[in-house]
């Protein structure tokens, strides 16, 4: 196999829900029939009582805006295409594969998938190393669970879903490193604190989204695709996040397409940095 550029799509191809969220299915919304040649397929959210409900970005691969946690803060419209925010440009990303972390106390297993449930600061690179990057991608192994959809995803007897989450110390180090984005292969970075009724912390988002400039949060990354597509998980890569641009004004989050590109071989880091330099607008247009 050659050492050319490998580009992987890390966008989740399903909706993943838990707790009180609606069940989301993909189905024909305009079926083809005699005299009606047009066919349309779409996503539909269904409540427990069978009624339809709106589908939100947070149920699949999405990027959070500061407005998600702060009234009057930046929405998607204010962020898109603004060169002041690195997320609108290709980013050099450090990729951490935590699915094989040696401490068994941080793992959980369901349906044959073992993943890192708690991401702690000791798993992160030193601060000076993180400062060399624009983004940090945390791969816990939970992507394989999300890919199966939410139909069989149930809590334990106490009401806990055992979703991967990051500690406050992780968020603080990411913020201190000056990164532009934190990504995770789960639909949230927050920790569940209660089962009945469902409660989550609200510790991580304010630390990251409340900074100036913000550390944007990318959730629902399909991290299990890397090894499947490339045969290995790279140490770093060029991360591209492409948010949906419709209804941007007032949007607290956006569905996003996510791509990670990288090379094979010992010169990958040097080639990645050259690639990112050549595809940024400053290089292309002066």
Is residue 131 domain-resident? yes
pLDDT in tens, 162-214: 999 999 999 999 999 999 999 999 999 999 999 999 999 999 999 999 999 99
pLDDT bucket at 286, cuts 50 / 70 / 90: very low
Is residue 32 domain-resident? no
Token pair of 73 as six digits: 């803060």
pLDDT in tens, 226-264: 999 999 999 999 999 999 888 899 999 999 999 999 999
pLDDT in tens, 80-112: 988 889 999 999 999 999 998 999 999 999 989
pLDDT in tens, 18-64: 887 778 888 898 899 999 899 999 888 888 788 888 788 899 999 99
Is residue 45 domain-resident? no
- Torsion angle (degrees, nearest 10) of CA 165, 168, 169, 173: 90
pLDDT bucket at 282, cuts 50 / 70 / 90: low
Question: What is the C-alpha separation between 119 and 101, in angstroms, rounded?
Answer: 10
Q: DSSP state, 245?
A: -
Q: What are phi and psi of 57, to 5 degrees?
A: -65, -25
Is residue 31 domain-resident? no
Is residue 49 domain-resident? no
Tell me the pLDDT of the chain averaged across its residues.
93
Is residue 181 domain-resident? yes
- Dihedral over Cα of 110, 191, 96, 83: its sign: positive
Predicted confidence (pLDDT) at residue 284 exceeds the cutoff of 80: no
Is residue 146 domain-resident? yes
Residues facing residue 225 across a β-bridge: none
| Helix (H) or strand (E) run with residue 281 in it | helix 281-285
> In which domain, by residue range, is 10 found?
6-14+57-285
- Torsion angle (degrees, nearest 10) of CA 98, 99, 105, 111: 150
Question: What is the C-alpha separation between 3 and 257, in angstroms, rounded?
Answer: 25
Report the pLDDT value the prediction gives residue 1, as an integer from 0 to 100.
46
Is residue 43 domain-resident? no
User: Residue 74 sits in a domain of what CATH number?
Assistant: 3.50.30.50
Domain count, the chain: 1
């Amino acid at each position: 196999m050659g050492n050319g550029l490998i580009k992987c799509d890390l966008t989740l191809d399903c909706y993943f829900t838990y707790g009180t969220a609606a069940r989301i299915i993909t189905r024909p919304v305009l079926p083809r029939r005699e005299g009606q040649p047009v066919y349309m397929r779409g996503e539909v959210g269904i409540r427990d009582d069978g009624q339809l409900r709106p589908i939100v970005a947070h149920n699949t691969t999405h990027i959070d805006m500061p407005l998600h946690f702060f009234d009057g803060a930046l929405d998607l419209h204010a962020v898109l295409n603004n060169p002041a925010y690195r997320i609108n440009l290709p980013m050099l990303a450090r990729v951490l594969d935590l699915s094989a972390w040696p401490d068994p106390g941080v793992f959980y297993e369901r349906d044959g998938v073992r993943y890192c449930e708690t991401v702690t600061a000791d798993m992160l690179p030193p601060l000076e190393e993180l400062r060399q990057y624009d983004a940090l991608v945390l791969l816990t192994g939970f992507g394989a669970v999300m890919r199966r959809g939410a139909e069989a995803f149930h809590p334990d007897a106490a009401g806990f879903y055992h979703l991967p989450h990051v500690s406050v110390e992780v968020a603080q180090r990411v913020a201190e490193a000056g990164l532009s984005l934190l990504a995770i292969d789960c639909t949230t970075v927050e920790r569940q604190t209660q089962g009945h009724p469902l409660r989550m912390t609200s510790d991580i988002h304010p630390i990251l989204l409340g900074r100036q400039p913000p550390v944007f949060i990318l959730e629902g990354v399909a991290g299990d695709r890397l090894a499947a597509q490339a045969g290995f998980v790279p140490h770093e890569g060029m991360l591209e996040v492409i948010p949906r641009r419709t209804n941007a004004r007032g949007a607290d989050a956006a569905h996003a397409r996510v791509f990670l590109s990288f090379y094979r071989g010992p010169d990958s880091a040097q080639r990645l940095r050259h690639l990112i330099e050549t595809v940024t607008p400053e290089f292309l247009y002066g």
